[in-house]
Amino acid sequence: MSSILPAYRPDAISKKESDLDRFIGSTTISELSSRLFCMGIDQALSEAGIRRFLDSPEFNTGADYFRNQEFSDSLTAMLLKLYEAAAVFGFPGTPSQHQQASRIDIALSIALIEALEGCGFSVYPYQVNDRLVQTFMTQRVMPLITFWRWRIVTGKALSTERVTSSTRNYFYTLWLSGWLFDKGPSSQGERWDLLHSMSADSLVQIIERSGIGYRKGFAQAIALQRKIRGHQSRGSSLDQLVRGCMKRAVFTFSTAAMLDTEEYYRDICSYLFEWAEKNYLPEVDDSTI
C-alpha cells in the first residue's frame, strides 16, 4: 500500500497559523527546532527524534493522513534522506561561500523525488498542488530544511511566500523541479542531466512564471534547447533566452492544446529560442535583470 502525503485538515486554520508564526518568527534553526519539535537540533535530525515527533501531538494535531506504521517509517526515511543530501552543503550550519543556492535546490529536488519514490509515497500533481499539502509539508514536515535554505544559506528573512504561496512554496518548487525534468529511473546515469544543466533563474522562468502547468515534455524540450545552446552562450545569456521563450510561449501557445509528442515539443521550442535570439535577447537591458 502506497503512503499518501500528509496535509492540514481544512478546519485546522488556527493550528496552521500558529505553526507559521513559530516558523517565521524563529531567528535561529536551534530556536525553530525547540519551538516546533520541543527538542534540540541534533536530536530533531536523528531517526529517534523524527519518530518521536511523528508520534507527538505537535505533529498530529490538525493533520490529515492515514495513520499507520508504514506511513511513519516512510516519512522518517524520507526526512533522513533529505537531511543527508542537505548535510553535503553544510546543513544545519552555514554552507561554505562557494556553494550556490541553485546547486542546493537541485540536489534537494533530486533527493526529494528519489526519497518519495524509494519510501513508497504515491505522489501526483493534483496532490502537490493542494495548498493544505504544501503548507503542511513545508511547515511541519520539512521546516528545518526550508528555514536553513532561506534564512541561513541566503542570510535573509524567511518569506511567508515560501510557505503559503502555491507557486513559491518551497516543497512545491522542489518537487515540481524534480518532477518536470526527471527523465525516469530507466535513464540511469542520464536521469537528472537536464535538471543539473539548469540555473536558478531558468528554473524560475519555467516553473513559476510560464504557466507551463505539468507539461513535462515541454519543460524538458526547453531545458534540452538551453543545454544545446550552452556550448555557445554564457549562463546569463541562456537565462535571458529562456525568459524570452517563456514570455513568448505565454502569449502564443496554450499548453492545454499542445500535442504531447517529442517532435511537437521540439519544433515549438526550436521556434521559441530562434524568436528569442532575434527579438528578445538584443533588447534586454542588463541593468534590469
pLDDT in tens, 25-79: 999 999 999 999 999 999 999 999 999 999 999 999 999 998 888 899 999 999 9
pLDDT at 288: 43
Q: Does residue 180 surpass a pLDDT of 90? A: yes
Q: Percent of the chain at pLDDT above 90?
A: 56
Q: Give alpha helix (H) positions in the chain.
A: 13-25, 29-37, 41-44, 47-54, 57-60, 69-87, 101-118, 125-128, 131-136, 143-147, 161-164, 170-181, 193-196, 200-207, 216-229, 235-252, 262-275
Start-to-end CA span in the chain (Å): 48
pLDDT at 158: 79
Given 188, 213, 232, the domain boundary residue is 188
Give every CB contact of residue 188 below 8 A, 6+ residues apart in sequence: none
Given 145, 162, 188, the domain boundary residue is 188
Q: Does residue 230 surpass a pLDDT of 80? A: no
| pTM over cut 0.75 | yes
DSSP one-letter code for 217: H
* Domain total of the chain: 2
Averaged pLDDT for residues 81-93: 96
Q: Percent of the chain at pLDDT above 70?
A: 91
Q: Does residue 188 surpass a pLDDT of 80? A: no
Q: Does residue 166 surpass a pLDDT of 90? A: no
Both 236 and 96 in a single domain? no
Both 181 and 205 in a single domain? no
The residue segments making up the domain with residue 2 are: 1-188
The answer to whether 77 touches 116, Cβ cutoff 8 Å, is: no
Both 244 and 152 in a single domain? no
Residue 96 — very low, low, confident or very high, per pLDDT cuts 50/70/90?
confident
pLDDT digits (tens, 9 = 90+) for 114-133: 999 999 898 888 889 899 99
Both 160 and 182 in a single domain? yes
DSSP one-letter code for 10: T
pLDDT at 55: 94
Given 146, 165, 188, the domain boundary residue is 188
Both 133 and 219 in a single domain? no
Both 179 and 63 in a single domain? yes
Residue 236 — very low, low, confident or very high, per pLDDT cuts 50/70/90?
confident
Both 9 and 120 in a single domain? yes
Both 134 and 35 in a single domain? yes
Averaged pLDDT for residues 204-225: 84
Both 279 and 177 in a single domain? no
The answer to whether 31 touches 151, Cβ cutoff 8 Å, is: no
Averaged pLDDT for residues 146-161: 87
Both 159 and 105 in a single domain? yes
Q: Does residue 287 surpass a pLDDT of 60? A: no
Q: What is the 3-state secondary structure (H, E, C) of 164-215?
A: HCCCCCHHHHHHHHHHHHCCCHHHHHHCCHHHHCCCHHHHHHHHCCCCCCCC
Both 112 and 218 in a single domain? no
Both 147 and 201 in a single domain? no
Q: Does residue 255 surpass a pLDDT of 60? A: yes
Of 144, 173, 15, nearest to 79 (Cα)? 144
Indicate the burial class of 141 (C-beta count within 10 angstroms; 0-12, 13-18, 19 or more).
Answer: buried
Q: Which three cell numbers stand for residue 119?
A: 519510501
